[in-house]
Amino acid sequence: MTNNFQIIDYSSKYKEDFKKLNLDWIEKYFFVEPLDEEVLSKPEENIIQKGGHILFAKIGDKIVGTCALINEGENVFELAKMAVSESSQGKGIGLILSKKTIEKAKEVGATKVYLVSNTKLIPALNLYKKLGFVEVPIGKTEYERTDIKMELTF
């Protein structure tokens, strides 16, 4: 694992990086759904202004990863929109970015963080398990591609 990257908070100048990183992985494995387009096109309105956070991994001047924390109310947050550029995968960026996002959740008083994913994303699911997430009943989901839900409680 290399540590030549830094984790930074959201800035509007990285809005397009947030969108591109996420669209790249979604289009590689699935298809872009209307909710993806809405959230990725307006991160300030859909995440930041609602008490959420977006973190980025940066190497030099280049954004190579991102992860969002969406405020669902009652001290519950969704870990969402995590993506690392294909050229930067395998360097531990996703692990550190996830850990920092979870730390941010604790800082703002979260008692639970959940995520939704797809079982074909085996490396991502292994990462989430490593971080302490456990599978829970999926319930209602907003994305067609979702077939697993995981939670981490504090």
Mean pLDDT of the chain: 96
Two tokens, residue 136: 């829970």
Sketch the domain layout of the chain as residue ranges.
Answer: 6-153
Burial class of residue 103, CB neighbours in 10 A (0-12, 13-18, 19+): exposed
Q: What stretches of 95-147 adopt beta strand conformation (E)?
A: 112-117, 134-136
pLDDT of residue 85: 97
Query: What dotted CATH number matches 6-153?
Result: 3.40.630.30
Return the H-helix or E-strand segment holding 129: helix 122-130
Half-sphere exposure of 124 (CA within 13 A, CB side): 19
Q: What is the pTM of this model?
A: 0.95
pLDDT of residue 2: 46
Contact present, 34 and 124 (Cβ < 8 Å):
no
Q: How confident is the model at residue 4 (pLDDT cuts 50, 70, 90)?
A: confident
∠ CA 77-83-88, rounded to 5°: 140
